[in-house]
A and B are shown apart, each in its own frame.
Chain A
């Protein structure tokens, strides 16, 4: 099963422990995760279900292509990382 993990920074605001998830796309994997951790959803996705503007998602170290539809494929043993973008000086 794929694994999803989050940076420590977001966990200051909402609980989102590392967990195994089900799903063959990022959208499916996140839906599975947020079904168990509903409060975390709004911290990662906006009210349109898109990846928030300053959030980034990686599947096996590769940044995803589809930030709106989250259709990027997820292999059975993939590691999904959700982090906040770094910007500014």
Chain B
């Protein structure tokens, strides 16, 4: 697949392959026509395509194509473990106990080059899942899920907190950075390490928790491939950049026309360059 010439566009009405030709871009293929494709991912190691669908009544599904989209096969969907019968949540999600059940697939990311078959998946409500077999099975990252601070997360624009960004450090495939709306940015020095420490976070989206790193609302996190210590965040309250692997963040102010938005893409080589999509904040909706 020519990566620079083709992109996959996920829409509520299907997944569309858009290719660049001599005369410009054109839609070259449509998959799952009429269905809500919430996310898709191209795995650069295998060339496989992944598509996450939300069928509403019938739930969330994952499909994989091994032939560039010509054919698709449904694969396993992440499933939450059984909640222990004696489980008492530390801080019930906005007054109600969190439901240990998949609501949405919100992030898909390939594992490192040295971990073929590994795929990461971020979900609502706040689950980080890992597959070692290309999505045939999934396991919940228990250190993150069982951390009591996880229960302080809240839903930002959704009924549940969600993991929307999973960034695998190209220097160390077990070093993963996770963005949570609204639960801040978490880093795991190794995939198996318990109690991953949240970084210091300078901004706020809740006055009562202004400097609490665990209740922030990053909308998306992006990482520079050439310099993975550089990360960018489009936060609910502004734009931030880290140059030390998410330990500290510097707010970038004065951005016109707006520092509010949702999307961010980091330049793969130039660590001082990132793209944002400015939007109007919620106070004028």
Contact = CB atoms under 8 A, between A and B. Distances in A.
Interface in A50-89: 50, 52, 54-55, 84-85
Contact of B57 (A47, A48, A50, A52): A52
Contact of B58 (A47, A50, A84): A84
Nearest to A39: B74
Interface residues of A, number: 16
A48 B77 CA distance: 13
B101 A48 contact: yes
A54 B236 CA distance: 31
A13 interface: yes
Interface in A7-60: 10, 13-14, 39, 42-44, 46-48, 50, 52, 54-55
B100 A13 contact: no
Interface residues of B, number: 14
Contact of A46 (B55, B56, B82, B102): B102
Contacts of B82: 48
Contact of B79 (A47, A50, A55, A84): A47
Chain A binding site: helix, strand, loop or mixed by DSSP? loop
B57 A42 contact: no
Nearest to B53: A13
A52 B102 contact: no
B254 to A, nearest CB: 44
Contact of B102 (A13, A39, A47): A47
A84 to B, nearest CB: 4
Contact of A85 (B57, B79, B100): B57
Contacts of B77: 42, 47
Contacts of A14: 58, 74
Nearest to B58: A43
Contacts of B55: 13, 43
Nearest to A40: B58
Interface in B35-61: 55-59, 61
Interface of A: 10, 13-14, 39, 42-44, 46-48, 50, 52, 54-55, 84-85
5 contacts: A13-B55, A43-B58, A44-B58, A48-B82, A52-B59
Given A14-B74, A47-B102, A48-B101, 13 more contacts: A13-B55, A13-B61, A42-B61, A43-B58, A43-B59, A47-B79, A47-B101, A48-B80, A52-B58, A52-B59, A55-B58, A84-B58, A85-B57
